[in-house]
């Protein structure tokens, strides 16, 4: 894990892109009716996503914080979240603009 907040935020966005791409293309061949496994898959994916995002956003800042570098850890966390917020805003601007 790196101390670069831009890298961390971009990795989170790449993870989301991979999940969405897999779901978009992967669900085309699924049966139309829901099965017993649909909610299991959804909750499993949610849990995996929470773990991945927790690692990308919290692991390094928390490590720094607990190692006595409280200011640096807090700064890294806030910068990562801020950059990810900007990426999120850009995604919504693209969504609502109708460009794609």
CA distances to 52, 58, 61, 69, 100 from 66, rounded to whole Å, are 20, 12, 9, 7, 43
pLDDT on residue 100: 74
pLDDT per residue as tens, the chain (100 positions) = 668 999 999 999 999 999 999 888 877 777 777 788 888 988 999 999 999 999 999 999 999 999 999 999 999 999 999 999 999 999 999 999 988 7
CA 87, CA 75: separation in Å to the nearest integer? 18
pLDDT on residue 3: 84
Among candidates 96, 62, 98, which has minimal Cα distance to 80? 62
CA atoms within 13 A on the CB side of 77: 16
Domain locations along the chain: 5-19+37-97
pLDDT on residue 10: 96
């Amino acid at each position: 894990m790196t101390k670069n907040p831009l890298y961390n935020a971009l990795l989170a966005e790449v993870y989301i892109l991979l999940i969405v791409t897999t779901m978009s293309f992967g669900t085309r061949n699924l049966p139309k009716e829901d099965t017993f496994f649909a909610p299991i898959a959804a909750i499993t994916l949610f849990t995996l996503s929470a773990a991945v995002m927790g690692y990308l956003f919290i692991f390094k800042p928390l490590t720094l914080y607990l190692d006595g570098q409280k200011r640096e850890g807090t700064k890294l966390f806030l910068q990562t979240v801020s950059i990810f917020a900007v990426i999120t805003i850009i995604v919504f601007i693209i969504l609502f603009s109708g460009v794609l």
